[in-house]
Structure 1
Amino acid sequence: MKSAARDAKGLVDEVVSETATPLSLLRRASAAPLFVSRVISSTGVGIGQVALAWGVMETGYGAPELSLVLACNAFPALLIVCGGVIGDRFRRHHVLMGAEILACLSWLALGGALSMDRAPLPLLCSLAGLGGVATAVFLPTVRGVIADLMAGRERPAGNALINQTESVGHLIGFVSAGAVVTLVGPAWAAGARGAFCGISAALLSRLVTQRPGRTGSGPLRELWEGWREFKGRPWVWIMTLHCTVITTALACYMKTAGPLYTENGHGGAWAWGVISAALPLGSLAGALIGIRWKPAHLIPVSALLLTSVSIPLLLMGGGAPWQAIAVAALVPGAAQAVYYVFWTTALQAEIPHAALVRVNSWNMVTGYALMPVTVLLSGPLVAGFGLQAIVLATAAVPIAATALTLLVLWLHSGIHAVRAS
Structure 2
Amino acid sequence: MKTAAESSKMISTPLKIGAFRRFASANLISATGSAMAPLALAYSVIEQGGGAGSLGLVLATNTVPTIVFLLMGGLFADRLSRSRLLFLGNLLAAGAQGALAVTVATGHATTMSIAACGFVSGTAASFIVPATQGAVAQIVPEEHLQQANALLRLPSNAVRVLGPVVGGFVVAVSGAAWALAWDAFTFAIAAVLLLGLRLEVPPTTPGGVLADLRAGWTGFWSRTWLWTYTAAGTVLVAAWLAGFQLLGPLVAVRQYAGARDWGLIQAALASGLLAGTLVCLRWKPYRLLTVAVATSGALALPLTAMACSLSLPLVLVAALLAGIGLDVAIVAWNTAFQQQVPQAEQGRMSAFNGVGERLAIPLGYLLTALAAHSWNSQGVLLACAGIIALTTVLNLCVPDVHRVNRLAPKGESRAANDDREIEQQA
TM-score between the two structures when normalised by the length of structure 2: 0.78
| Partner deviation per Cα, 1:200-238 (whole Å, 9 max, x = no partner) | 111112213112334221122222222222211111111
Q: Structure 1's 357 and 276: CA in aligned 2 closer, same or farther, altered over 3 A?
A: farther
Matched, 1:111 2:104: no
Question: Which residue identity lines up with residue 352 of structure 2 in the other structure?
Answer: W
Contact conserved, 1:88 with 1:356, CA < 8 A, in 2?
yes
Matches within 5 A, 1:147-162: 147-162=137-152
Matched, 1:336 2:319: no
**Alignment match, 2:17:** 28
Distance in 1 of aligned mates of 2:263 and 2:94:
22
Contact conserved, 2:288 with 2:333, CA < 8 A, in 1?
no
Cα drift, residue 249 of structure 1: 3.4
> In the alignment, which of 33, 37, 45 is matched to residue 44 of structure 1?
33
Cα drift, residue 326 of structure 1: 5.6
Cα drift, residue 198 of structure 1: 1.3
**Alignment match, 2:395:** 405
| Partner deviation per Cα, 1:162-193 (whole Å, 9 max, x = no partner) | 22232233233233223223222333222321
Q: Structure 1's 59 and 379: CA in aligned 2 closer, same or farther, altered over 3 A?
A: farther
Question: Which residue identity lines up with residue 359 of structure 1 in the other structure?
Answer: M
Question: Which residue identity lines up with residue 68 of structure 1 in the other structure?
Answer: L
| Partner deviation per Cα, 1:99-157 (whole Å, 9 max, x = no partner) | 11111122223334445769433333222222111111111211111111122122222
Q: Structure 1's 219 and 26: CA in aligned 2 closer, same or farther, altered over 3 A?
A: same
Matched, 1:72 2:28: no
Secondary structure in structure 1 of the residue aligned to 2:14: helix
Matches within 5 A, 1:275-354: 275-293=265-283, 295=285, 298-315=288-305, 328-354=318-344
Question: Which residue identity lines up with residue 243 of structure 1 in the other structure?
Answer: G
Secondary structure in structure 1 of the residue aligned to 2:202: coil
**Alignment match, 1:175:** 165
Cα drift, residue 59 of structure 1: 4.5
Secondary structure in structure 1 of the residue aligned to 2:359: helix
User: Matched residues, percent identical?
Assistant: 30
Secondary structure in structure 2 of the residue aligned to 1:230: helix
| Range with greater deviation from structure 2 (164-173 or 216-225) | 164-173
**Alignment match, 1:210:** 200
Unpaired stretches in structure 2, ≥5 consecutive residues: 1-9, 406-417, 419-426
Question: Which residue identity lines up with residue 188 of structure 2 in the other structure?
Answer: G
**Alignment match, 1:164:** 154
Cα drift, residue 272 of structure 1: 6.4
> In the alignment, which of 116, 125, 129 is matched to residue 135 of structure 1?
125
Matches within 5 A, 1:118-129: 119-129=109-119
| Range with greater deviation from structure 2 (193-202 or 275-284) | 275-284
| Range with greater deviation from structure 2 (297-306 or 318-327) | 318-327
Q: Structure 1's 394 and 184: CA in aligned 2 closer, same or farther, altered over 3 A?
A: farther
**Alignment match, 1:4:** none
**Alignment match, 1:6:** none
**Alignment match, 1:363:** 353
Question: Which residue identity lines up with residue 124 of structure 2 in the other structure?
Answer: A
TM-score between the two structures when normalised by the length of structure 1: 0.79
Contact conserved, 2:48 with 2:110, CA < 8 A, in 1?
no
Contact conserved, 1:174 with 1:273, CA < 8 A, in 2?
no
Question: Which residue identity lines up with residue 61 of structure 2 in the other structure?
Answer: C
Contact conserved, 2:99 with 2:117, CA < 8 A, in 1?
yes
Matches within 5 A, 1:233-312: 233-252=223-242, 256-257=246-247, 268=259, 275-293=265-283, 295=285, 298-312=288-302
Distance in 1 of aligned mates of 2:401 and 2:363:
36
Matches within 5 A, 1:369-388: 369-375=359-365
**Alignment match, 1:195:** 185
Contact conserved, 2:242 with 2:368, CA < 8 A, in 1?
yes
| Partner deviation per Cα, 1:237-294 (whole Å, 9 max, x = no partner) | 11111111222234446765556777999565x8766654544432333234335435
Distance in 1 of aligned mates of 2:369 and 2:104:
21
- CA root-mean-square deviation: 3.6
Cα drift, residue 380 of structure 1: 9.0
Distance in 1 of aligned mates of 2:341 and 2:281:
20
Cα drift, residue 41 of structure 1: 0.9
Secondary structure in structure 1 of the residue aligned to 2:19: coil
| Partner deviation per Cα, 1:390-411 (whole Å, 9 max, x = no partner) | 55554443223224334x52xx
Contact conserved, 2:78 with 2:204, CA < 8 A, in 1?
no
Question: Which residue identity lines up with residue 52 of structure 1 in the other structure?
Answer: L
| Range with greater deviation from structure 2 (246-255 or 174-183) | 246-255
Contact conserved, 2:289 with 2:401, CA < 8 A, in 1?
no
**Alignment match, 1:56:** 45
Secondary structure in structure 2 of the residue aligned to 1:329: helix
Distance in 1 of aligned mates of 2:110 and 2:253:
23
Question: Which residue identity lines up with residue 292 of structure 2 in the other structure?
Answer: S
Distance in 1 of aligned mates of 2:367 and 2:50:
16
Distance in 2 of aligned mates of 1:206 and 1:191:
24
Question: Which residue identity lines up with residue 85 of structure 1 in the other structure?
Answer: L
**Alignment match, 1:9:** none
Distance in 2 of aligned mates of 1:56 and 1:253:
25
Distance in 1 of aligned mates of 2:349 and 2:212:
11
Unpaired stretches in structure 1, ≥5 consecutive residues: 1-18
Distance in 2 of aligned mates of 1:259 and 1:185:
25
